[in-house]
Amino acid sequence: MGLRIAIDTGGTFTDVVAIDEATGDIASTKTPSTPEDLSVGLIEGVRKVLAAVGAGPVDVHMLLHGSTVATNAVLEHKFDGLGLLVTKGFRHLIEIARQSVPDGYGNSFFWVKPHRLVPLHLVREVPGRMRFDGSVLEPLDEAVVIDAVRELVEDGVRCIAVCLLHSYANDAHEKRVGEIVARHFPEVFVSLSSVVLPEYREYERAMTTLIDVLVKPFCRTYLRRAAEKITAASGDIPFLIMQSNGGIVKHSTAGERPVTMLLSGPAAGVLGSVHTAQLAGYRDILTIDVGGTSTDVSIIENYQPRYTSTSMVENYPVKTPMLDIVTVGAGGGSIVWTDSYGQLKVGPQSAGANPGPICYSKGGTKPTVTDAAVILGRLPAALVGGEIELDARAARRAFVLLGEEVGLDPDELAAGALEVAAANQVFGIRQVTTVRGREPGDYAMVAFGGAGGLFATEVADFLGINTVISPPDPGNLCAFGLHVCDVTRDYIRTLVRRQSSADADEIIAAWRELERLGFADIEGEGIGRDAIAVHFIGDVRYFGEGHEVQVEIPRELSGRAALDFMWEEFHQVHDRTFGFNYLRFQLSRPAGRRACQFARACCRQAGSSAAQGCRGRPSACCSLRAAQGLLEIDRLDRRTAVPPRRACFGPAHWRTGDRRGVRRHDSDAALMVAAHRSIPQSDPGQWTLRGTRDAACPVPPRARPDRA
């Protein structure tokens, strides 16, 4: 007998699914998680499933694992002993962060910044600086590096993140810092931003690196203990870890970059849902995974899950490739409580695995969603095959006390708690559907997790969903999803280039280098080259935007064909994501550049509310033409304006005379040709505006020149 065992460790239960590789038989079980040492629950799960199929440890040929240990370390704010090394002059990188405020700027008066991962007194600056192109501006001062690390260690730091300016372009300084720390302070854990996230935008890179080194001691210790116990029982078998991108890697590799383990359990559930949907014949589905602590939701279209490169773990940004999953704090163990206004709330606090809900009789004192379901008779008398008997009387006593505070009897309060929990889950689903222009009723819903079936019909009723799919053994679907994963690696290279001036050979060479690294690493795990597939993705944006969209390149394309596809497909991806694109303003590509070609533009006379044509009004018009990729506007006359939806953006050189009321402007910043309410009278040709047009220089879809 050869068994492949998958284990998903959650906040409340550890789920186990074993498959006999010879016969295809499937066996599953659950066991309570052990937060004090998760490897104990893992080994107990293996023991239980082996007993269920009548096998022994020597029959295990492979073990697959997904865990929440990385996420829990962040959620529990285990930030002690964390330090940061930055380039001289950037000590306040984490303090400044971003200007955006959650829930809009109307919340800026009330919003309080979350606790910093690293307090300012544990941030050290080191001399040495790279330019954006990777050239050395100032050499690294190694003596200062040693002194800075020694000071941090003396202050109790045992985990250090290194984030130096422009290390994505040249990682020589960061590598040298890592070597110095390893030689002089071998007991210190170190993460380099050039390894964790070789991308620009220093704040996100620093935060991701900090979270990586934060969880590194927990993950390495946990994985080492689990690997030792597995090896002692079953020999040197493959021990593979689920990543948040939906792929698996060796446990030793995962320990080197543990930030990739965030949301690894929910990611397996998404892949298990895709497999279930294929068997059921539904191409477009929503997934709702209701566990003990939270609910994870995602959207799948044409059997393809969505991916993202940016996510939030609590209030902290994490930028690493992962499945696009939205998490809300509403699970079976979520605590039912009332706020200072007497309003009924559910979560995000959870009773977890220890002590758990009151009905588990393990010392829990706070009412939970599971307790509410027990009171209403929606759960059986025992769970996990009779291992956990549910105490309905104890649960009812807790709801009686809480009901007295809000004036409701226990049954009404329990029903209200379940309805609030369902509303929270509906909110999560709307984040991946309605907010993105999707209608939930157009999708089937796959409900799984320990409490997925408990809420499936109510959530579907809320959203107008007509089809609910309940997979076999839904409580173990995340563990089952581990069996349908591939070995996956992600490689990133930052090249900030405009389409109009990009060197195609440079981009293609970067892709080929990443491909070479991928083949080398995966072949090193014992997988043949013929079994390896390479998938290229480009992160593209319009010039002036602050975010990118991912353009996936078909696997049959390579070289210049792949690059040309990326430029063209970007507009369509942008339109699907945000509801608009600027393709109509880019009608041709002379001299290898995008250009707008207008024979004539509609103009609007100042004071008029409607766009008018230029016919018969030559003095109030401006003619536009494309000349070798340049967009030129000649004859900018008095009170001339470009009408709505004809405003033009682009890197521009705008020179004017020094007449009163007109300023000299010469900039490569985005420039909008808009309504000029008052332009001094001038001779024809006195005023000239020139600007390029390409995919990086957009025209806003709802431009309002009359307000410029």
pLDDT at 359 over 80: yes
Q: Which two tokens stand for residue 242?
A: 């689920």
Alpha carbon 324 to chain centroid, angstroms: 6
pLDDT at 689 over 70: no
Q: Tens digit of pLDDT for each residue in 569-608?
A: 999 998 888 888 887 765 433 332 222 222 222 222 233 3
Task: Please state, in angstroms and rounded to a whole number, the distance separating the CA atoms of residues 370 and 334.
Answer: 8
Domains of the chain: 1-262 (no CATH), 283-466 (3.30.420), 495-581 (no CATH), 593-708 (no CATH)
Q: Tens digit of pLDDT for each residue in 216-225?
A: 998 888 899 9
Q: Tens digit of pLDDT for each residue in 478-521?
A: 999 999 988 888 888 888 888 888 899 999 999 899 999 989 98
Whether 33 contacts 11, CB under 8 Å = yes
Higher pLDDT among residues 417 and 37, named by residue: 417
pLDDT at 25 over 50: yes
pLDDT at 163 over 90: yes
- Residue 404: φ, ψ to 5°: -65, -30
Strands (E) in 419-548, as ranges, are 444-448, 468-469, 486-487, 537-540
Task: Please state, in angstroms and rounded to a whole number, the distance separating the CA atoms of residues 308 and 547.
Answer: 12
Higher pLDDT among residues 217 and 108, named by residue: 217
Higher pLDDT among residues 617 and 123, named by residue: 123
Sequence letter at residue 516 = R
Identify the pLDDT of residue 103: 64
* CA-closest candidate to residue 156, choices 63, 211, 83, 86: 83
Identify the pLDDT of residue 623: 30
Identify the pLDDT of residue 123: 97
* DSSP result, 523-549: HTTT--GGG-----EEEE--TT-S--E
Mean pLDDT of the chain: 79
pLDDT at 230 over 60: yes
Identify the pLDDT of residue 446: 95
Eight-class DSSP state of 115: P
At CA 468, angle to CA 465 and CA 470, rounded to 5?
160
At CA 601, angle to CA 597 and CA 603, rounded to 5?
160
Helix or strand (DSSP H, E) at 623: strand 623-627
Sequence letter at residue 634 = D
Q: Which two tokens stand for residue 530?
A: 């013929």
pLDDT at 650 over 50: no
Identify the pLDDT of residue 292: 82
Identify the pLDDT of residue 495: 85
Identify the pLDDT of residue 694: 35
Higher pLDDT among residues 436 and 480, named by residue: 480
pLDDT at 702 over 70: no
- Find which of 540-554, 575-589, 675-689 is predicted with most confidence, using mean pLDDT: 540-554
Higher pLDDT among residues 104 and 385, named by residue: 385
Mean pLDDT, range 168-188, rounded to an integer = 96
Mean pLDDT, range 654-670, rounded to an integer = 32
Task: Please state, in angstroms and rounded to a whole number, the distance separating the CA atoms of residues 461 and 423.
Answer: 11
Identify the pLDDT of residue 673: 33
Residue 158: band (very low, low, confident or very high) from pLDDT cuts 50, 70, 90 = very high
Whether 206 contacts 319, CB under 8 Å = no
Q: Is the pTM of this model over 0.75?
A: no
Task: Please state, in angstroms and rounded to a whole number, the distance separating the CA atoms of residues 527 and 534.
Answer: 14
Residue 629: band (very low, low, confident or very high) from pLDDT cuts 50, 70, 90 = very low
Identify the pLDDT of residue 282: 95
pLDDT at 322 over 60: yes
Mean pLDDT, range 315-328, rounded to an integer = 85
Q: Tens digit of pLDDT for each residue in 285-296?
A: 999 999 888 888
* CA-closest candidate to residue 41, choices 20, 68, 62, 60: 68
Q: Tens digit of pLDDT for each residue in 376-422?
A: 999 988 887 777 889 999 999 999 999 988 888 999 999 999 999 99
Alpha carbon 300 to chain centroid, angstroms: 16
Q: Which two tokens stand for residue 367?
A: 């009412």
Lowest mean pLDDT, pick from 168-182, 311-325, 429-443: 311-325
Task: Please state, in angstroms and rounded to a whole number, the distance separating the CA atoms of residues 327 and 312.
Answer: 10
* CA-closest candidate to residue 193, choices 182, 183, 184, 204: 204
pLDDT at 609 over 50: no
Half-sphere exposure for 206 (CA within 13 Å, toward CB): 26
Burial 517-545 (b: 16+ CB within 10 A, else e): ebeebbeeeeeeeeebeeebbbebebbee
Task: Please state, in angstroms and rounded to a whole number, the distance separating the CA atoms of residues 292 and 337.
Answer: 17
Task: Please state, in angstroms and rounded to a whole number, the distance separating the CA atoms of residues 414 and 400.
Answer: 10
Identify the pLDDT of residue 668: 31
- Find which of 320-334, 560-574, 578-592, 648-662 is predicted with most confidence, using mean pLDDT: 560-574
Task: Please state, in angstroms and rounded to a whole number, the distance separating the CA atoms of residues 32 and 24.
Answer: 26
Percent of the chain with pLDDT over 90: 42
Percent of the chain with pLDDT over 70: 81
